Amino acid sequence: MNMAWKEIKKSKAKFVILGSIIFLVSFLTFIISGLANGLSQDNAALIKNLPAGHFYMNEQANETYNMSKIDPSAQEKILQEHKDSAALSIQMGFVNDTEDKQHGVAFVTSTESPLFENVKPGEIVLDRSLEKDGIQVGDVLTNNQFSGEFKVIGFADQKKYSHSPVAFIHMDNYKEMYRVNTMQLLFIPGQDQPQTIDGLQSFSIKQFLNTIASYSAEQLSLNMIIWFLVAISGMLFAIFFYMMNVQKIGLYGILKAIGVKTSTLFRMMWAQMFFITAIALILSVALSQGFNTIAPEGMPFSLTMGTTLQLSILFVIIGFIGATLSGLQIRKVEPLQAIQQGDV
């Protein structure tokens, strides 16, 4: 006989209250996770979407890529050794469109590589978000640090850096604009372990992302909120089941007196926990995925089914631990204590 289900049916209100709280907390966690992921994409899609590999920058750059200068001879040697590697530079700037409207961009230039958009001098490829701002293929863009003009030859998807759309330009144009003769970074894809190169410091993609000040600060805060919410939901389970168990001490004692196993009482509590969590999570997953599709266009929101499932599993585990910890008192219940009490 399913006592767990019968209790839920008889005491709907208290289980609906717990379920609602779990639903709200999990929904909020999913939304914040979507925002964290969205902001992360918005901040560094250019880097995040690269294949696994390692970045290298000058040791004297103090882990700040725009202070890095790669020695041209070292660069040449690495590019020769690793055919699929690339040297690249990134600088924040802006372009003016045909109507002289300014658009903030992250200028990116690289040596010839399939990992980045390759353009000829005077050409530019932009992140697709600028297409929505009215820029079209064939438009001519200008920049006050550049003597010539950029002709838009295409758009690339998911190329953002530091919350700005990326503008891929040719190395010669970049060097003219920023009065430099060296590249800032080297990227070697497909390396499980970094290579030791004299004068250069290596960074995995994750390590490199953390050198971007805005990225690490942003993600740290959002991830902290997510973990707090997960911890809060675990505590909610523990507190709720603790209070419910305290109320039922007498009942547990009587059930033990008539021969019910302690493990049966635990299974009853776990079944209730799983049932409530499942309903709450199904609702919050459905709503958060719904929100994913209707989120306003400007809102950096990205919630994948994988992330949702991972968080859902985490909620179930946390709920299980919370309920089990609170349920430890069931083991201590003495049947005699319950019999000496009044009615349950």
Partner 1 sequence: MTSFTIQDVRKTFTNGEVEEQVLNGINLSQQQGEITALVGASGSGKSTLLTIAAGLQRASGGQIIFEGKNMTDMTQEEIRKIRASQFGFIFQSSHLVPFLTVEDQLMLMLNVSETKMSKRAQKEEVMKILKLVGMDHRKDAYPASLSGGEKQRVAIGRAIIHKPKMLFADEPTASLDSTRSKDVMTLIRKLTKELNITTLLVTHDEEMLSYADHVITMKDGLIIE
CB-based contact 191:203 (threshold 8 Å)? no
CB of 333 to partner 1, least distance (A): 12
CB of 311 to partner 1, least distance (A): 32
The reply on whether position 12 binds partner 1 by CB under 8 A is no
The reply on whether position 11 binds partner 1 by CB under 8 A is yes
Instruction: Kindly determine how many residues on this chain lie close enough to bind partner 1 according to the rule CB under 8 A.
Output: 24
Q: How far is CA 54 from CA 47, 68, 85, 285, in A?
A: 11, 15, 10, 35
**Long-range contacts (CB closer than 8 Å, 24 or more residues apart) made by 51-54:** 51/115, 51/189, 51/190, 52/189, 52/190, 52/191, 52/192, 52/205, 53/187, 53/188, 53/189, 53/190, 53/191, 53/205, 54/187, 54/188, 54/191, 54/194, 54/195, 54/202, 54/203, 54/204, 54/205
Applying CB under 8 A, among 24, 140, 257, 283 the residue interacting with partner 1 is 257
CB of 267 to partner 1, least distance (A): 13
The reply on whether position 342 binds partner 1 by CB under 8 A is yes
**Residue 24: which residues within 8 A CB-CB, separation 6 or more?**
none
CB of 24 to partner 1, least distance (A): 26
- Residue span 322-341 as binding mask against partner 1, x where in contact by CB under 8 A, dash where not: -------------xx-xx--
Q: Which is nearer to partner 1, 245 or 312 (CB)?
A: 245
Q: Give the CB-side neighbour count of residue 280, counting CA atoms within 13 A.
A: 30
What whole-number distance in Å separates Cα of residue 284 and Cα of residue 307?
13
Span of 2-10, 133-141, 205-213, 279-287 interacting with partner 1 by CB under 8 A: 2-10
* Residue 131 one-letter amino acid: E
Q: Which is nearer to partner 1, 122 or 335 (CB)?
A: 335
What whole-number distance in Å separates Cα of residue 266 and Cα of residue 262?
6
Cβ atoms within 10 A of the Cβ of 153, count? 16
Applying CB under 8 A, among 9, 120, 206, 267 the residue interacting with partner 1 is 9
Q: Which is nearer to partner 1, 3 or 32 (CB)?
A: 3
The reply on whether position 271 binds partner 1 by CB under 8 A is no
CB-based contact 338:250 (threshold 8 Å)? yes
CB of 4 to partner 1, least distance (A): 10
The reply on whether position 297 binds partner 1 by CB under 8 A is no
The reply on whether position 267 binds partner 1 by CB under 8 A is no
The reply on whether position 273 binds partner 1 by CB under 8 A is no
What distance lies between CA 174 and its chain's CA centroid? 32
Site for partner 1 in 223-252 (CB under 8 A): 250-251
What whole-number distance in Å separates Cα of residue 148 and Cα of residue 5?
74
Residue 313: strand pairing partners: none
CB of 47 to partner 1, least distance (A): 56
The reply on whether position 314 binds partner 1 by CB under 8 A is no
Applying CB under 8 A, among 47, 90, 255, 285 the residue interacting with partner 1 is 255
Phi, psi of 57 (to 5 degrees): -135, 165
Span of 5-13, 28-36, 99-107, 308-316 interacting with partner 1 by CB under 8 A: 5-13
Interacting residues toward partner 1 by CB under 8 A? 1, 3, 6-7, 9-11, 250-251, 254-261, 335-336, 338-339, 342-344
